[in-house]
């Protein structure tokens, strides 16, 4: 998505450890108009796939997931990273290893919000090693639901999580794929 | 907002300890259409107040804050509850006591996303004791910005955080105010 690639080049900041910071427009301060357009782009790709629900994981994918859900006219659910006081019902859960934080955390969704009648589209902001999305795929499978595919704003192509997910047969849409990244250059993978 | 009050009566669940669970439409599974309408309602109230930015706190207020920001055509920022690896810049922070979790946590916003040129509208899902919103007001003051007001989906009127915030002279819009709540009844405060 050219408008996103241009914005990454303009406002993205590269930090040591292959960290790309896009907090000024994507995941701490949010450019509402851009994210709305990104949600429409994702919705257009999956419009004929019979998506019943959007699933994301807290926190930074929520706005893009919401914009996608608006464009498809379906509800959105977010998985939580820990158990909450207000969630005393049956949960579907899995464990996810965070490459960024070098630790494992629980991901939980209430079983009442995902069942075998659902065809779920996963939406998140970043895809690096792919662990968060693979965790969500496990939750979808455990709940007996179908997965219509997955979509992310930015895939770090050089960390190969996207390849792993495509190899699983998942229809994965990445609005921008970073092929390589260093202090002074950033190149995108060409997509048709 | 009648449509929200009706939905709370239909799908809200009251739990011991004055907990109102609205996870099926507001803060875990999200009714996209309802939240979009709620964002428009908030935007209409504050449309002439020169709002430059929406501020919320992770996690469950993000979708409503985003919908409000869409309707006002402004960016949205969310405060984080802890420091992140990807945020190695100057922060504005405060401490908030959570009544739900009976513990104190840090709330932080990057200083680059809020400054003295901003006129901030705070948006959140719930208002009970008011501690989260008072924390955000402190952050706005520390950053030297103005506050255009605050808006929440559901105010628990009987916990008096809303009264405290109105007494501070803040224009507070609550889309639904619960006056009293028990296992078998739930009454709303009449609002003009």
**Contact check, Cβ <8 Å, B113/A63:** no
**Chain B residue whose CA is closest to A24:** B113
Q: What fold, for A2-188?
A: Rossmann fold (3.40.50)
Dump pLDDT digits (tens) for B150-160.
Answer: 999 999 999 99
Give chain A's mean pLDDT.
Answer: 92
For residue B171, pLDDT over 90 is answered with yes
Which residue in chain A has the smallest CA separation from B102?
A85
> Which residue on chain B is closest to A13 by alpha carbon?
B86
State how far residue A172 is from chain B, nearest Cα, in angstroms.
Answer: 23
pTM confidence score: 0.95
CA–CA separation, A76 and A67 (whole Å): 10
- Cβ <8 Å between A69 and B32: yes
The candidate with the shortest Cα–Cα distance to A87, out of B119, B37, B101, is: B101
**Residue range A50-69: mean pLDDT, rounded:** 96
CB contact under 8 A, A32 and B66: yes
Contacts of B69 in chain A (CB under 8 A): 30, 32
The more confidently predicted of residues B162 and A18 is B162
Q: What's residue B11's pLDDT? A: 96
Give residue B21's Cα distance to chain centre.
16
Distance from CA of B1 to the nearest CA of A (A): 20
Residue A52: list chain B partners with CB under 8 A: none
Average pLDDT estimate for A114-119? 96
ipTM of predicted assembly, 2 dp: 0.94
How far is A58 from A63, CA to CA, in rounded Å? 10
* Phi and psi torsions of B73, nearest 5°: 70, 40
Q: B23 to chain A, minimum CA–CA distance in Å?
A: 8
Q: What is the mean pLDDT of residues A117-128?
A: 97
Of B29, B66, B67, the CB nearest to A77: B29
pLDDT tens for B94-133 read 888 887 778 888 889 988 999 999 999 999 999 999 999 9
Shortest CA gap B13–chain A (Å): 10
The larger pLDDT score, comparing residue A99 to residue B189, is at B189
Residue B94 vs residue B36, higher pLDDT: B36
Residue B165 pLDDT more than 80?
yes
pLDDT-derived band at A84, boundaries 50, 70, 90: low
DSSP states of chain A: -HHHHHHHHHH-EEETTTEEE-IIIIISEE-HHHHHHHHHHHHHHHGGGT--EEEEETTTTHHHHHHHHHHHT--EEEEBSS--TT--S-EEEEEEEETTTTEEEEEEEEGGG--TT-EEEEEEEEESS-HHHHHHHHHHHHTT-EEEEEEEEEEEGGG-HHHHHHHTT--EEEEEEEEEEETTEEEEPP--
Percent of chain A whose predicted confidence (pLDDT) is above 70: 96
For the stretch B42-81, pLDDT in tens is 999 999 999 999 999 999 999 999 999 999 999 999 999 8
């Amino acid at each position: 998505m050219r408008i996103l690639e241009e914005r990454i080049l303009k406002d993205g900041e590269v930090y040591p450890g292959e960290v790309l910071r896009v907090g000024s427009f994507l995941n701490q301060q949010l450019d509402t108009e851009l994210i709305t357009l990104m949600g429409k782009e994702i919705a257009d790709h999956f419009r004929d796939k019979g998506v019943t629900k959007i699933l994301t994981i807290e926190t930074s994918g929520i706005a893009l997931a919401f914009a996608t859900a608006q464009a498809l006219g379906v509800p959105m659910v977010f998985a939580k990273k820990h158990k909450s006081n207000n969630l005393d019902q049956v949960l579907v859960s899995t464990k996810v290893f965070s490459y960024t934080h070098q630790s494992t955390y629980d991901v939980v969704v209430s079983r009442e919000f995902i069942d075998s009648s659902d065809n779920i589209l996963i939406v998140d902001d970043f895809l690096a090693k792919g662990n968060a999305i693979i965790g969500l795929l496990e939750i979808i499978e455990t709940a007996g639901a179908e997965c219509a595919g997955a979509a992310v704003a930015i895939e770090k192509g050089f960390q190969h999580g996207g390849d792993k997910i495509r190899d699983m047969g998942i229809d994965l849409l990445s609005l921008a794929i970073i092929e390589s990244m260093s202090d002074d250059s950033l190149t995108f993978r060409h997509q048709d």
